Amino acid sequence: MAVITDTTRRKVLSYRWLAYGMLALVYFFVYFDRLAPAVVSPELVKTFHINAASLGLLSAAYFYPYAVMQFPSGLLSDYLGPRRAVSIFILIAGVGTVLFGAAQSYDIALVGRGIMGIGVAVVYIPVMKILAVWFRKHEFATLTGALLTVGNIGALAASAPLAWLVAQAGWRESFYYLGGVTVVLAILTFTLVRNKPQDLGLPTIDAIDGVQADSTTASATVEEEIPPGRAMKMAVSSRNYFPLAIYAFFVYGTMMGFQGLWGVPYMMDTYGFSKQVASNVLMMWAVGMIFGCPIAGVLSDRIFHNRRTVVLLGSGTYTLLWLLLVLAPGALNATLLSILFFAMGFTGGFYVVTYAQITELLPKQVAGTAVGVYNPWFFIGGALFQQIMGVILDSYGKVGKIFPVNAYRATFILCFVGMIIGTLGVFFSRDTMTQRLPGTEKGYSMKA
């Protein structure tokens, strides 16, 4: 065991920020890659001679492998370690990005986009592992919120700044540059990041804080290997898994259904906004999340000292905001819509705290696996809500060239009802911060 001195204590408390900062920078480009095709869509249509459906598939080719890779990402994080997992797969993402830029046919571009999705899928969960090992429990939600803020800044950077770069250098060259930056990040991650303090001969964060594990959590303190099958069983049997999976499905489903697809058509059809004006208004949703994610973490860690209360507050408010759209789907102006979407992004972003609820009832060795089996519910919800909302709109049909306001109202009712169910999921979850205060640790919980 490493000797704890003032010097080693300072090294632990400083080096962890280097590891977190490096991985946060990588995560910036996860969101950047996710939204980049929107800016270059005219160039892609012209280059590959494709229609809107083919363009949609080209963009979606990122999401399908991203969702599939979530569980393997947890296993890779636990058994390769965050350092190697992120380094290898971000390098893969860089190769995919360059291939996408160099593609001379639609099929090759599709392959490149899919490789990008595979590569960036193995970032978020390894960062959760770093937080679980290098940081204190009461810092987890705050730093998770800050990470998602960095991601949303990456999303904003994939708009006007990328458009400027494309105008200056061309779309292919822009992806060459992006791929090159990604490769450099892979090298820096392997060079600078370490999986745990012990890799540098340093004491653990619990050791420098003088935290003594009780008998129920001793197995979480010992660095013993937990087989993948058992790790997965522990994760899905945790008291919070299914209630929060229900919430994750509905909260991200409603977000991606509206923010990710139908928000702009709704404002164009209902209010007659131009595409640019509608996009500017909807951008306030992302701005709201930039503020909401870190604030939710601070509220959980430092104000309420409670995970469940904060998520319930955010989910309940977010649900009521959907009711406003149900009641007044065509009665708001651009300013009121901007305020509403900011509020929806702000409160919707409170889902970040659920990652702490998912991991804190489990040993640290399976933190990656736990997030890996939880994360897909977000993406499944997002994909299905986009499709179901489209089916509802088609069932009403268009009046002239636009969908009527009642068609959109029906999709809002779906989202409102879905969020009632999601909020009930949060209500039946267990708070984990109060469960694991010093002297009251419960260890992980297995459902009977």
Average pLDDT over residues 12-25: 92
Q: What is the pLDDT of residue 223?
A: 52
User: What percent of the chain stands above pLDDT 70?
Assistant: 90
- DSSP β-bridge partners for residue 399: 402
Distance CA 365, CA 297 (A): 23
Q: What is the pLDDT of residue 332?
A: 93
> Using CA of residue 142, residue 342, residue 344, residue 371, what is the dihedral sign?
negative
Q: Is the predicted pLDDT of residue 38 greater than 70, yes or no?
A: no
49-64 mean pLDDT: 74
The C-alpha atoms of residue 99 and residue 111 are separated, in whole angstroms, by 8
Beta carbons of 289 and 283 less than 8 angstroms apart? no
Residue from 114, 119, 110, 112 nearest 97 by CA = 112
144-175 pLDDT, tens per residue?
778 878 888 887 777 667 778 888 898 899 99
Q: Using only the alpha carbons of the chain, give its radius of gyration.
A: 22
Question: From the CB of residue 168, how many other CB atoms can be counted at a distance below 10 Å?
Answer: 9
CA dist 250 and 407 (Å) reads: 20
| 216-225, 384-393, 398-407: range with lowest mean pLDDT | 216-225
More confident residue, 12 or 59: 12
Residue 366 and residue 237 in contact, taking contact as beta carbons nearer than 8 Å: no
SS3 210: coil
- Of all residues in the chain, what percent carry a pLDDT higher than 90? 37
151 vs 143: CA distance, rounded Å: 12
Q: What pairs with residue 402 in β-bridges? A: 399
**Alpha-carbon gap, residue 124 to 431, rounded angstroms:** 23
pLDDT tier at 350, thresholds 50, 70, 90: very high
d(CA 23, CA 17): 10
Q: What is the mean pLDDT of residues 117-130?
A: 89
Quick check: helix, strand or coil at residue 80? coil
**What confidence tier does 406 reach under pLDDT thresholds 50, 70, 90?**
very high
Average pLDDT on 251-279 reads 83
Cα–Cα distance for residue pair 315/246, rounded to 1 Å? 12
Each residue of 420-447: pLDDT tens digit? Answer: 999 999 999 988 876 443 433 443 332 3
Cα(19)–Cα(330) distance, rounded to whole angstroms?
48
Is the overall model pTM greater than 0.75, yes or no? Answer: no
Q: Tell me, what's the pLDDT at 441?
A: 41
pLDDT at 105 over 70: yes
Question: Residue 304: exposed, middle, or buried by beta-carbon count in 10 A (0-12, 13-18, 19+)?
Answer: middle
Residue-range domains of the chain with CATH: 6-209 (1.20.1250.20), 232-436 (1.20.1250.20)
Residue 370 structure tokens: 């736990």
pLDDT-based confidence at 212, cuts 50/70/90?
A: low
User: Which one has a higher pLDDT value, 448 or 203?
Assistant: 203
SS3 of residue 249 by DSSP: helix
Structure tokens at 350: 């409170």
**Mean pLDDT of the 348-360 span:** 89
pLDDT at 219: 41
Supply the pLDDT for residue 217.
42
> Tell me, what's the pLDDT at 52?
57
User: Using CA atoms, how far apart are residues 56 and 52, in angstroms rounded to an integer?
Assistant: 6
Are 415 and 188 a contacting pair, CB within 8 Å?
no
Whose CA is closest to 375, among 182, 257, 235, 186? 235
Cβ-based burial of 42 (10 A; exposed 0-12, middle 13-18, buried ≥19): exposed
SS3 (DSSP) at 216: coil
Residue 220 has pLDDT above 60, yes or no: no
